[in-house]
């Protein structure tokens, strides 16, 4: 990877920081598209994702340094952090999961409350033609209306942005699979095992697996047997993922035929008729 240099001073520094955030977001979007089209082997895609994440961290560090150590000015936006987390997780997720995953993997201080207005902000930006390459949008139900409390990325294929009866379980299993893969990568990076910041990330990721994967074999109240848990996740996905994909594909076909671009991304507005939704 080449050296990334960010020169930031005054207003120009603010503009440069924004451009860096947009560049990283664009790279995340391109990777998501490549994953969907199977343009990259999974191992390569994972390595690229890690490289993009590291590039974003380095860019932010350089920005803070160029601004004289002003961490507040160099702090990435909640929007950028949400995009980073969603790209790695690869499935619609709640603000709580997005924030927890970002804190664990990127050593950030992102809180779910910081994401409370994000969906509305991006909806306004999208409708006004805002110049983003990727937007944070609501996941949609099979009725093609916004799903409560789930965020997705506008660059994802239609079926992935939809949640059906089995999708909560499927998405949760896939998210846990990502966490387990991250733990494995940390373990394999050193023969002596993770140390320093890497050890902290591993501990945080294990806590996430116990929180979101408590019903999975190999996951107990105070430990995670990674190989056992990975096998259990694969076995459960083999059982529920095919039917889930059929349901999502059926809804995606209807969504793709929607002529209104905003509705394709944001869903149909909820209507209240006779006092019921």
State residue 133's pLDDT score.
85
**Apex CA 82: angle with CA 78 and CA 86, to 5°?**
175
Q: Encode pLDDT of 155-166 as tens digits.
A: 999 999 999 999
Number of other CB atoms surrounding residue 245 within 10 Å: 17
What's the mean pLDDT in 58-75? 49
Q: Encode pLDDT of 134-180 as tens digits.
A: 999 999 999 999 999 999 999 999 999 999 999 999 999 999 999 99
Q: What is the mean pLDDT of the chain?
A: 82
Q: Return the domain boundaries, the chain.
A: 164-254
Judged against a pLDDT cut of 80, whether residue 186 lies above it is answered with yes
Separation of alpha carbons 260 and 53, rounded Å: 33
- Give SS3 for 166: coil
Separation of alpha carbons 14 and 24, rounded Å: 16
Separation of alpha carbons 156 and 125, rounded Å: 18
State residue 98's pLDDT score.
97
Strands 136-141 and 146-153: antiparallel
Task: Determine which of 26-35, 71-80, 227-236, 238-247 has the lowest per-residue pLDDT on average.
Answer: 26-35
33-37's contacts with Cβ under 8 Å and 24+ in sequence apart are 33/155, 35/90, 36/156, 36/157, 36/160
Greater pLDDT, 68 or 52: 52
Q: Encode pLDDT of 75-117 as tens digits.
A: 789 999 999 999 999 999 999 999 999 999 998 999 999 898 8
94 and 149 Cβ atoms separated by less than 8 Å: yes
Which pair of tokens denotes residue 1? Answer: 């990877």
Judged against a pLDDT cut of 70, whether residue 11 lies above it is answered with no
> How crowded is the C-beta side of 112, counted as CA atoms within 13 Å?
11
Judged against a pLDDT cut of 90, whether residue 272 lies above it is answered with no
């Amino acid at each position: 990877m080449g050296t990334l240099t960010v020169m930031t001073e005054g207003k120009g520094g603010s503009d440069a920081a924004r451009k860096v955030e947009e560049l990283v977001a664009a790279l995340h979007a391109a990777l998501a598209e490549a994953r969907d089209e199977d343009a990259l082997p999974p191992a390569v895609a994972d390595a690229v994702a890690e490289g993009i994440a590291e590039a974003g961290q380095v860019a932010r560090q350089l920005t803070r340094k160029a601004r004289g150590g002003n961490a507040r000015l160099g702090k990435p936006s909640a929007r950028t952090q949400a995009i980073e987390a969603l790209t790695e997780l690869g499935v619609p997720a709640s603000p709580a999961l997005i924030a927890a995953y970002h804190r664990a993997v990127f050593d950030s201080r992102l809180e779910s409350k910081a994401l409370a207005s994000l969906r509305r902000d991006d909806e306004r930006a999208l409708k006004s033609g805002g110049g983003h390459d990727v937007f944070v949008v609501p996941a949609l139900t099979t009725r093609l209306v916004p799903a409560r409390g789930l965020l997705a990325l506008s660059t994802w294929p239609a079926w992935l942005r939809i949640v059906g009866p089995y999708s909560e379980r499927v998405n949760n299993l896939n998210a846990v699979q990502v966490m387990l893969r991250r733990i494995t990568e940390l373990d394999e990076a050193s023969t002596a095992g993770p140390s320093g910041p890497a050890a902290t990330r591993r501990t945080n990721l294990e806590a996430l697996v116990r929180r979101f994967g408590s019903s999975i074999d190999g996951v107990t109240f105070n430990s995670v047997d990674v190989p056992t848990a990975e096998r259990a996740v694969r076995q459960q996905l083999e059982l529920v993922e095919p039917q889930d994909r059929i349901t999502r594909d059926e809804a995606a076909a209807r969504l793709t035929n929607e002529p209104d671009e905003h509705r394709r991304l944001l869903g149909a507005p909820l209507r209240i008729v006779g006092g019921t939704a």
